[in-house]
Amino acid sequence: MSFNSNHTFKSYMLFTLINMLHFYPPPSSSSSWFGVWIGLELNMMSFIPLITIKMNYYFSESALKYFLIQALGSTLLIMSSCMFMSFPQMSPPLLLTSLFLKLGSAPFHFWFPQVMSGLTWPQAIILSTLQKIAPMILISYLSTYPSLMQIISLSAILSAITGALGGLNTMQLRKMMAFSSINHMSWMLMSISISDTFWITYFLFYSAITSSIMILFYILQTFTLSDLMKSNQTNPIHSLIIPLNFLSLGGLPPFTGFIPKWMLIQFLINSKLFLPLIFLLSSALITLYFYLRITIFFFLLTNPTMIINMKLNMTYSFSMKLLLFFNLFMFLLPLMFLFF
């Protein structure tokens, strides 16, 4: 039994390393779209074994859905790249469509919550963060075409609406995080129109906060809202960490998640892009509503004396202390922007 567990861990680390190696150099650094296609295929083929290492019905279904969608996106990408010389006007929109499909951006988001629902939390972290890097780099290159900026803005608006409305009635935490990722994708797509540095900054903030939440869910082994409420009864420290994470993910000031949104809002106002801004802000309010649905429970139903009297040094492991330090650091990070 220990041999199987050790073998599974080694296999998981191997495929994770292979999955990360395709960023050095990234597939977008290739001089041709054929090289880009090869890099994306290597990325896909290294992520699928991560899903199917522990084979069961849910992992198999998620792996099959992910493979079919990514294969369809790769087909569109290689077909549109071959059309560059013959149909220069039609090829860039098809390339952008294939990247939207691989990214899980609206209106091609239908697969993302379904795949996310069948993954473990470590796999969900990779799908929500690392798997988005290469398509977004390629979209940033395509944003140099003025005709494609309207399509990117339209996809951002649809992603904002879909991510906000899709997470309202779900009780599954993985599906909720999937729709949250779709909503944040709208902000990142609009950030691409500014500069590479800007969307990378937003992506780093989003990845840090989302990964922190999912790591906590992995430690607690919670997959539904009812599981999350039960964990609050035994570990009062979660009443501090979980609300701070969700409020930061929702972009509520003065939490860390508000910083990149604030920067993007300022740019959209200065550029007179009021229509996308209205949709982004409206969707942010809706997502904040179903984040508050979780945080209010912790604030109202937790005994304050439990938090005051808890003894971290005797009760919690090093990983939990490290996670608490990270969350408190992220909470205090906006103060640096006020003093410096």
Instruction: List, for residues 101-122, the tens digit of each pLDDT value.
Output: 999 998 999 999 999 998 989 8
Q: How much of the chain exceeds pLDDT 90, in percent?
A: 30
Does residue 27 have a cis peptide bond before it, meaning omega lies within 30 degrees of 0? no
pTM of the model: 0.86
The Cα–Cα gap between 292 and 198 comes to 28
Q: Which of 65-74, 75-84, 101-110, 313-322 has the lowest mean pLDDT?
A: 313-322
Q: Residue type at 29?
A: S
Provide mean pLDDT across the span 259-277. Answer: 89
Residue 302 has pLDDT above 80, yes or no: no
- Candidates 168, 206, 171; CA nearest to 186 is 206
- Candidates 72, 69, 48, 70; CA nearest to 60 is 48
Ramachandran assignment for 221, one of left (phi > 0), alpha (psi -120 to 50 degrees), beta (any other) = left
CB 151 within 8 A of CB 255: no
Provide mean pLDDT across the span 177-199. Answer: 91
Measure the CA angle with vertex 81, ends 75 and 86; round to 5°: 125
The Cα–Cα gap between 308 and 142 comes to 53
39 burial class (0-12, 13-18, 19+ CB within 10 angstroms)? buried
**Residue 224 β-bridge partners:** 172
The Cα–Cα gap between 25 and 292 comes to 41
Q: Residue type at 329?
A: F
The Cα–Cα gap between 307 and 213 comes to 20
The pLDDT of residue 215 is 86
Provide mean pLDDT across the span 273-277. Answer: 90
Residue 326 has pLDDT above 50, yes or no: yes
> CA 247 from chain center: how many Å?
16
Q: Which of 77-81, 154-158, 192-196, 265-269 has the lowest mean pLDDT?
A: 192-196
The Cα–Cα gap between 272 and 267 comes to 9
Task: Give residue 236's pLDDT band: very low, low, confident or very high (50, 70, 90).
Answer: low
Residue 99 has pLDDT above 80, yes or no: yes
Provide mean pLDDT across the span 171-181. Answer: 92
Write down the H helix ranges in the chain: 2-21, 33-52, 57-82, 91-103, 111-117, 121-128, 133-142, 146-166, 173-192, 196-220, 225-234, 238-249, 258-270, 274-301, 304-308, 312-315, 318-332, 334-339
Collapsing DSSP to helix, strand or coil, 32 comes out as coil
Q: Which of 42-56, 145-159, 210-224, 299-313 has the lowest mean pLDDT?
A: 299-313
Q: Residue type at 92?
A: P
Residue 328 has pLDDT above 70, yes or no: no
- Candidates 117, 105, 132, 142; CA nearest to 19 is 132
Those residues whose C-beta lies under 8 Å from the C-beta of residue 47, and which sit 6 or more positions away, are: 15, 19, 66, 126, 127, 131
Task: Give residue 19's pLDDT band: very low, low, confident or very high (50, 70, 90).
Answer: low
Residue 15 has pLDDT above 70, yes or no: no
Task: Give residue 203's pLDDT band: very low, low, confident or very high (50, 70, 90).
Answer: very high
State the chain's mean pLDDT as an integer: 79
Provide mean pLDDT across the span 154-171. Answer: 91
- Candidates 230, 1, 37; CA nearest to 135 is 37
